Amino acid sequence: MGEHVVDAVTVAPRLTAVVAQTTTWERFPALWRELLDEVYDFVRKREELAPTAGPGPKWQNVMLYKDDAPAVEVGVLVGRSFSPEGRVIASRLPGGKAAMTIHRGDYAGLGRAHEAVHQFAEERERELAGPRWEIYGHVHSDASEIEIEVYYLLT
């Protein structure tokens, strides 16, 4: 797992706008885009929720996997809380001690980042608490520019 450096970090909870869904791993690859589109329909009308002001990309996508069912939350980071509308709710990414790595490159290789975190926990005899999440960097047409932060909450 040499391509992924994993560190134990302390993270603060981060506000999100999400659609929560319990699904199956077989269905999730066809479902996540639909959930994310629903969130974007909501936040694009509410610039005041953007975590950063000014020009350039405002929203970073997030996927929180609460368990292995999977119960997921798909959405974006936001800068403040808000009232829910339809299926879009205010939530937050967990805070506390986490194992974290950054995946760089094509999305197809993202599984290696998750494997690296599992290996890190096993080698250090750390227990993964269950919740894990990904924070996606801004979209790039060049796959080598893609960055995805991968976190696993530690017990």
The pTM of the full predicted model, rounded to 2 decimals, is 0.91
Six token digits for residue 95: 């805070």
**pLDDT digits over 94-123, tens only?**
999 999 999 998 888 899 999 999 999 999
Burial class (CB in 10 A: 0-12, 13-18, 19+), 152: buried
Q: pLDDT band for 2, please (50, 70, 90 cuts).
A: low
Mean pLDDT in residue range 6-34 = 96
- The yes-or-no verdict on residue 1 having pLDDT over 60 is no
Question: Any idea where the domains of the chain sit in the sequence?
Answer: 7-154
Q: What percent of the chain has pLDDT over 70?
A: 95
Displacement of CA 134 from its chain's centroid (Å): 3
Scan for tokens 């974006």, then name that residue: 76
- For 7-154, which CATH class? alpha beta
Q: Using the predicted structure, report yes or no on whether residue 144 has a pLDDT greater than 80.
A: no
Q: Is the pLDDT of residue 139 over 80?
A: no
Is residue 150 within 8 A of residue 109, CB to CB? The reply is: no
The chain-wide mean pLDDT, for the chain, equals 92
